[in-house]
Structure 1
Amino acid sequence: MIDRFNLIIAAILATLFTSTAALACDMSKLPTPEQKNIWYCHSSSDTTIVFVHGLFSNSREAWLREGAAPTDPPKAFWPQIAVDDKRLGGAAIFLGGFYSKLDTKDFGVREASNELFSGLSTPIDGNAPVLDQKNIIFVAHSLGGVVVRDLLVRHTEAFKEKRVGLLLVASPTGGSAYARLAEYMPTVSGGALIDQLQPNSTYLRGLDLDFRDLLNNRKIPSLTGKELVEHFAFDPNSPATASWYKRLANYFVDDKIVPRQSASRYFPNEALIPDSDHSSIAKPEGQNSDAHLQLVNLYEQVQSATAPECAAPPYFKVQLDLAVAQASNKVQDGQAAALANYLPVISVERLDQDGRKLIGTTNVAVMRDPQSGLHEYAPSPPFPCSGEIFQARFRAAPISGGSFLTENAADATSLCFKRSRSKSNERTAALRCVEGQTCSVAPNAGMAEACNERAGLNFSTGFITPAHAEPHPASAEQETSGRQWMVPSLDTIQKVPAELRAGYTEFGIKTLPLKGVEHATHFTYGVRVNGIPLHFDGWPPFSNETLFSGADGLKLAFAVENLGFSGGQDGHENIEVELRIFDKQTLLRTEVLKRDDYVSYRHADPRELTLSQGEEAVWTGLYRPAASQDRFEIILATAGQAPKIMQDRKDIQNRVAYEDHPVIGVIRPGRADNPQLGLSFGLKLKSGQVRSVFSKEQATDICRFVLDQAQTKKLPRWLGKSAYIYEFDTERITDTADRGVYRGTCQKLLAQNAR
């Protein structure tokens, strides 16, 4: 009789504190009662709904609504209802669980919480842990709600950087009088879970205080919740209600297993679920059932909540140990030899979870540290939360004075790491990289852990997968096999020590507020010089997405070094800037700005341009000279008309070489003190750049070379008399007069030096 009585009361308590677990995405493969902490339906969503059962229950019976007769198929399974409901956005479904058999002995809520946490933090079936998700919603029935609250209190660090939803389904916050029934169960008496569920137990009072503190002090800033209250202890419409053991239970307790005052303490506007009992409240019939509608509402609240911003630890840096596979650490012609200590410079581009450019972030130029040999930098926000990934890619970037012309862009190097939960506050993330391939986590990795396939990278090949390798179709231009200038960005140039920096022109474009772009989010741009696109820091045009408010004017700054400038037809170069303005993915407006009056080594006068809808833009350009700027030109000929100077250039073009560089003519427009066109001595460098200014010693040697070549008729003989040296001061930012000094003919200067 005692054994039968124990089973009867166990059945009552099972009705009291139900729960279960599962495996697939359809009801044909429901979990067995023994399965727990398993995926019922995994998806690519960033949200997971975790169903947590109660006492003496499991991940099957807790949520399963059986048919009317024992032989009838089940009517519904709440996790499956969630899978089928499109309002839940394809959220992944996980069935959390813990040991909950009749005799729990010393296995209490804390042990149950630890078991659940282990299930949430462990990769299962090749899928990342639940705790890797940005958004986690708990559906916790009865004792499961107590276990989840204990979990959140004791493992706050794991959740504080996430959006968390908590649906407490008839959960005995203040305990339940039904736990007293254990007094009549000798085999269960003394079990820790039963003891802790006694009304106003010491454990529950302590947990209540701790959980209120967590809520009041917003220790999980994006935690939101809802509490569901049962209508009856047992459904009066259920055939089982008439059974003698439920009448026996009503003899001992109130009309609810978990009364309203125990089930509604933490969140406003608790919801009483009509005609529900403690068991059926967790077994909705379909998508329009009251309990499930509360889950949908909570999901919407979680999705609309402000995502917590995760900060990097103080003084945090990404450390890259880079093995150079390409000629990225060689000094170009004309660059300071000391720059080799800083090479290669790399440009890092942040990526989102889909492997695309992360809007709102700026590419970062990172120089090699001469002492450590590492590339170190502090990434700007946003920073991943614990368990989330940091994704980027980088290219070797031309350094100051190192622009070069090419037809093939180098491959990008993939960079990905997951922020460790256990080492989340480490101040480094160390990776080993091979240029053009994929970085791997270094032995002393700091906070970095290896990424998995969910990171959007193909780690079997070492390159970004085709789905992610392409630039944004609306905002980036494909790299082509045509000629491209690889040039340093303004940011890269300015990171070079001033004494090693080559001269460059800093351009600025500003507009007033623009029409039709009130909802703009960002803009991109592309620059062409004499028809050839510039790849700033190695990235193709329209790669760098800059945040932009439509209510403000547009501001753009970029730099152009001396490229293949030879003066065109009249001493000027053509520069074209195309601006593309977006509202997220939608292209709102395109503007193309052109100026054909740029002269290398000189300031560009401010120029007003009219945009397509009548607004004005101002385009300025200031030449920033190097600290030790070469300032001597060898003028080979002058003329008042362009046709004459063009013919003179044709007579000398590519006929001889000086120090293995072809000699060309560079047309220079008149200066303030000499309005005539000039034909300057120029060298075509292997990089594609043209050099036409030199040191005094070099200028003297070039004079000697020109006279020798004219004497032997390899160059026109008239150069022997016409060639002269012209010196112009290193220009200051405020100097726009372009003043210079005539130093004398080559013939005369060499004769003086010979005395």
Structure 2
Amino acid sequence: MTRPVYLAAILFAVLLLPQRFSHASGPPIVRIVQEYQATKPSKTALVFVHGIFGAKSTWQGDKAYWPALMNQSLAGAADIYRVDYESFGDAKNGLSVTNIVKAMSDQIDEVVQPKRYSQIIFVAHSLGGNIVRAYLLKVKLRQGHLELDRYPTAFFLATPSEGSTIASYGQLVLASPLLRALVPLDENDFLQLVMMGEGDWITKHSAVGCTRNVFLYAYEKKPLLGVMVVPKASALPWGGNESFVSQQTIRGFERNHSTIVKPESLNDPVHRWVADKAKACLKGEWPCNQNTNISETVRKSVCGAISPGAAEHAVKNGGGKEILGDE
């Protein structure tokens, strides 16, 4: 057994330890748990989504539980949820990232959407970030670009936006269909489709002046069991191209792949990075401010349901005036 494969075997054995439920057949199980309810009715929800082989313990450090720290920092001003999804099984039993995204979407429709939050903010770890990216594309396809205004920002912590080499080695020691969604981009058709969809959506938002969703990327600077699971190059989509990823949205931390989502106190730098921006969102500030350079009527029409090609046509003809009529 070569050293990379050996390290992958140890790493995935460690990642499997926190897993608490398995499922023999049928579609994957996804549960949404409300961890904390705001002290007063709130229009903001934070949703934590773990990575592959994760569980509630993903967010539990030696001294603190991250959703609890977040509730304390936000002074009970937001509802806080946790998404748990099953990671064991195989394709024959219905386990796939696509089915997890569908099941999560169904759960959000049932549990979260009825409350009609104006802001839903995801805090996602590892594979959970790629699941969230696919979920937001599903929102766009099902409900239109305008619905994405309700998801103004998302935090992707150690998410392999362009895949991870260690997942390729992991496939040699563990038969999990979820690993296919984590391998490097050049051999990962799932991530290629996600990035193609995101590229179209960001191009449209930039061209027409629709609200631009702000994604924030954190990467690890320390190895886990000798392995850098998601280094900076893996964490940033489009190779960090500033047309899509600004330096303002990138942060590296002196943590490994596991401890990056286990802050130990209110002053922990990872927690402060997320909590300070979540508090800004509660005030309607960046990264959640909904600034656009077109009128509300044009925004609803142009950003609501037309294709990227039609959006480009609208820009060439006066920001949508030819299509919609001059106001």
| TM-score, structure 2 as length reference | 0.70
Alignment pair present for 1:53 and 2:50 = yes
Output the amino acid matched with 1:134. S
- Equivalent residues, number: 262
Task: Output one character per residue of 1:11-60: Cα deviation in whole Å (capped at 9) or x when no partner.
Answer: 24448xx8999xxxxxxxxxxxx9831111122111000000110112x1
Partner SS, residue 110 of structure 2: coil
Distance in 2 of aligned mates of 1:45 and 1:181:
44
Alignment pair present for 1:177 and 2:165 = yes
Alignment partner of 1:267 out of 206, 223, 245: 245
- Structure 1 stretches lacking a partner, 5+ long: 22-33, 67-74, 235-245, 315-384, 386-755
2:97–2:131: 8 Å Cα contact kept in structure 1? yes
Does the C-alpha gap of structure 1 residues 226 and 62 become closer, same or farther in structure 2, counting only changes over 3 Å?
same
Distance in 1 of aligned mates of 2:65 and 2:19:
12
Alignment pair present for 1:295 and 2:282 = no
**How do residues 504-543 of structure 1 correspond to structure 2 at under 5 angstroms?**
none
Aligned-residue identity in percent? 23
Distance in 1 of aligned mates of 2:201 and 2:115:
19
Of 147-156 and 191-200, the range deviating more from structure 2: 191-200
Residue 233 of structure 1 corresponds to 223
Output the amino acid matched with 1:162. R
Residue 140 of structure 1 corresponds to 124
Residue 39 of structure 1 corresponds to 34
Residue 111 of structure 1 corresponds to 99
Deviation of 1:160 after TM superposition, in Å, equals 2.4
Distance in 1 of aligned mates of 2:253 and 2:100:
27
Alignment pair present for 1:99 and 2:79 = no
Task: Output one character per residue of 1:304-332: Cα deviation in whole Å (capped at 9) or x when no partner.
Answer: 20278589999xxxxxxxxxxxxxxxxxx
Partner SS, residue 62 of structure 1: helix
Residue 199 of structure 1 corresponds to 184
- Structure 2 stretches lacking a partner, 5+ long: 1-6, 22-28, 238-243, 305-327
Output the amino acid matched with 1:99. E
Distance in 2 of aligned mates of 1:215 and 1:78:
31
**How do residues 542-691 of structure 1 correspond to structure 2 at under 5 angstroms?**
none
Output the amino acid matched with 1:80. A
Distance in 1 of aligned mates of 2:42 and 2:162:
35
**How do residues 736-755 of structure 1 correspond to structure 2 at under 5 angstroms?**
none
Deviation of 1:162 after TM superposition, in Å, equals 1.9
Deviation of 1:263 after TM superposition, in Å, equals 0.5
Residue 622 of structure 1 corresponds to none
Q: Which has the higher contact order (CA 8 A, sep 6+)?
A: 2
Larger Rg: 1
Distance in 2 of aligned mates of 1:160 and 1:296:
22
Between structures 1 and 2, the one with greater strand share: 1
1:196–1:203: 8 Å Cα contact kept in structure 2? yes
Deviation of 1:198 after TM superposition, in Å, equals 1.1
2:136–2:148: 8 Å Cα contact kept in structure 1? no
Distance in 1 of aligned mates of 2:166 and 2:13:
12
Distance in 2 of aligned mates of 1:96 and 1:83:
16
RMSD over aligned CA atoms reads: 3.4
| TM-score, structure 1 as length reference | 0.32
Residue 62 of structure 1 corresponds to 58
Distance in 1 of aligned mates of 2:82 and 2:91:
21
Partner SS, residue 194 of structure 2: helix
Task: Output one character per residue of 1:515-542: Cα deviation in whole Å (capped at 9) or x when no partner.
Answer: xxxxxxxxxxxxxxxxxxxxxxxxxxxx
Distance in 1 of aligned mates of 2:251 and 2:95:
32
2:15–2:54: 8 Å Cα contact kept in structure 1? no
Deviation of 1:300 after TM superposition, in Å, equals 4.4
Deviation of 1:197 after TM superposition, in Å, equals 1.4
Between structures 1 and 2, the one with greater helix share: 2
